[in-house]
Structure 1
């Protein structure tokens, strides 16, 4: 068996090859007789099991072996956790499998089963058969169909991740806004909420929901200035700050649409990343 790093390389390499297949199908599947044979083998496999598979693009088929009608479907940027097994459809020989869940963001990586993720829901298990190509792999001769088993499939949206974070930290949400911001007052401040145009001096720590601190000034002597009613910071941060009083401590947790969005921020914050900020209002001018 390959180690987890090697498994990922095999899975993603095969996925990339399949992506090329959709563009170069007339070249790679030029031998129509072999292509039709591969197709017949796939349909025969499901027929013997008494399963009625659903057709996908590029000649692939899938069948949900364990449905979960109430499960959520993955959206771009969701975190997916998947256990998979890749095998030769004809011989049953296992070519690759995951010992621990493969975790990745949907819509960014291209594992061999990526297209299947658009068709199944959280908690479901499924089998997908992919027609062979002219390219051969160890244990998978050219034009031999590949069988993909997906099991222990988990979809975690940003909202799911935020709720998990709050539950794990045992935080009491003071206010939740329609845009997804969770405002959590840790200790109250004094005076009025600052008016538009006021400059608020802050001490803060920005974290990913796994606890990693990517930015902050708590250990430094400087402070971070934010103008009330301004637009110099992301919406989630700005909106949360405008609810705080002098001396108040709070935690702001918000999803990427009111954070750094699909693109993220440089090499520091990936796209589609929910964030948590610990904030202290040190001064108001």
Structure 2
């Protein structure tokens, strides 16, 4: 793992977060005289009829909303933080974006035009625990610009769930609950929780004293999200990755975790987001991500 990786600040957003950027770009597109509003309205009505869907309410904007599971409490308000699960698909059923099988949630502030217009409007109709389906005309999605795999002027479907609505998010409590669920789901054993919130399971004991602050550790590792996506690994590299323990050259979870290991030991580290990258998105790692590292302490000097 290079130091450059740890210092990276590249931010990547899910497709649903690209709304404002895409709408601003739309002014650069060539003029198109097609009446997409009428076309999209007809497409949505045909889709509802063909699939025998019920419960949809058409909003004045053209957004169709069907609440499939009522929630509790007040609906989401401007500037509140919404934590959501979602699946985005085309009307032919092809999914283009989803976090429904993920351990992570999508958190966004409502009413700040970060999301596409359909989300900014649709989530104001939902309360905590609610599930709903949005049928979105292209004018409330990515318009004539498109985004990633989404062609221009495309009607979209989003199946969403409001997991929480809050003014602030207690990521420490949420990460703790998520890590415990992950351990239970995967039937993992041997983990010890540290006061910091770091979970460590030593899978192969080493020999000698543990690494100490100021010593140089040589490590082999694989880093994954809890969903199993590998974001970095050096297991096939010629040489291990070396760093000075406790000097802030690596994320906090590593500085702490390697002081619990000795030469030759292997372990699994489960890092709450506060011991990883916090609220920063780094390379392909979303903000506020819990991370798993399978590590080996190859040498200590």
Q: What is the alpha-carbon distance in structure 2 between the residues aligned to residue 232 and residue 12 of structure 1?
A: 31
Q: What is the alpha-carbon distance in structure 1 between the residues aligned to residue 176 and residue 92 of structure 2?
A: 29
1:263 matches 2:270: no
1:153 matches 2:148: no
The answer to whether the 8 A contact 2:271-2:290 is kept is yes
The answer to whether the 8 A contact 2:72-2:127 is kept is no
Q: What is the alpha-carbon distance in structure 2 between the residues aligned to residue 176 and residue 229 of structure 1?
A: 19
| Greater relative contact order (Cα < 8 A, sep 6+) | 2
SS at match of 1:283: strand
1:279 matches 2:298: no
The answer to whether the 8 A contact 2:211-2:258 is kept is no
Deviation at 1:250, TM superposition (A): 0.6
The answer to whether the 8 A contact 1:256-1:274 is kept is yes
Unaligned stretches of 5+ residues in structure 1: 1-7, 21-57, 85-95, 138-148
Question: What does the per-residue CA deviation read over 1:44-88, in whole Å, with 9 as the maximum and x for residues that have no partner?
Answer: xxxxxxxxxxxxxx9x9x997744559xx9957x5622589xxxx
Q: What is the alpha-carbon distance in structure 2 between the residues aligned to residue 214 and residue 83 of structure 1?
A: 24
Q: Could you tell me which residue of structure 1 aligns to residue 131 of structure 2?
A: 125
| Corresponding residue to 1:248 among 248, 251, 265 | 265
Q: What is the alpha-carbon distance in structure 2 between the residues aligned to residue 16 and residue 261 of structure 1?
A: 24
Deviation at 1:102, TM superposition (A): 5.5
TM-score (normalised: structure 2)? 0.52
Q: Could you tell me which residue of structure 1 aligns to residue 85 of structure 2?
A: 80
Q: What is the alpha-carbon distance in structure 2 between the residues aligned to residue 194 and residue 202 of structure 1?
A: 12
SS at match of 1:107: strand
SS at match of 2:263: coil
Q: Could you tell me which residue of structure 1 aligns to residue 31 of structure 2?
A: none
Question: What does the per-residue CA deviation read over 1:169-201, in whole Å, with 9 as the maximum and x for residues that have no partner?
Answer: 321252223543221221222222223222221
The answer to whether the 8 A contact 2:86-2:158 is kept is no
| Corresponding residue to 2:119 among 111, 114, 118 | 114
Q: What is the alpha-carbon distance in structure 2 between the residues aligned to residue 263 and residue 12 of structure 1?
A: 15
Deviation at 1:211, TM superposition (A): 2.0
Q: What is the alpha-carbon distance in structure 2 between the residues aligned to residue 12 and residue 236 of structure 1?
A: 29
Q: Could you tell me which residue of structure 2 aligns to residue 43 of structure 1?
A: none
Larger Rg: 1
TM-score (normalised: structure 1)? 0.55
1:215 matches 2:232: yes
Structure 1's 199 and 83: CA in aligned 2 closer, same or farther, altered over 3 A?
closer
Q: What is the alpha-carbon distance in structure 2 between the residues aligned to residue 166 and residue 172 of structure 1?
A: 8
Q: What is the alpha-carbon distance in structure 2 between the residues aligned to residue 150 and residue 213 of structure 1?
A: 27
Q: What is the alpha-carbon distance in structure 2 between the residues aligned to residue 178 and residue 102 of structure 1?
A: 36
The answer to whether the 8 A contact 2:88-2:98 is kept is no
Q: Could you tell me which residue of structure 1 aligns to residue 49 of structure 2?
A: none
Q: CA RMSD in A?
A: 4.9
Unaligned stretches of 5+ residues in structure 2: 1-13, 25-60, 100-105, 144-156, 165-173
Question: What does the per-residue CA deviation read over 1:256-285, in whole Å, with 9 as the maximum and x for residues that have no partner?
Answer: 2221222222x3433222211111111111
Q: What is the alpha-carbon distance in structure 1 between the residues aligned to residue 274 and residue 239 of structure 2?
A: 29
How many residue pairs end up in the alignment?
215
| Corresponding residue to 1:233 among 247, 250, 253 | 250
The answer to whether the 8 A contact 1:206-1:215 is kept is yes
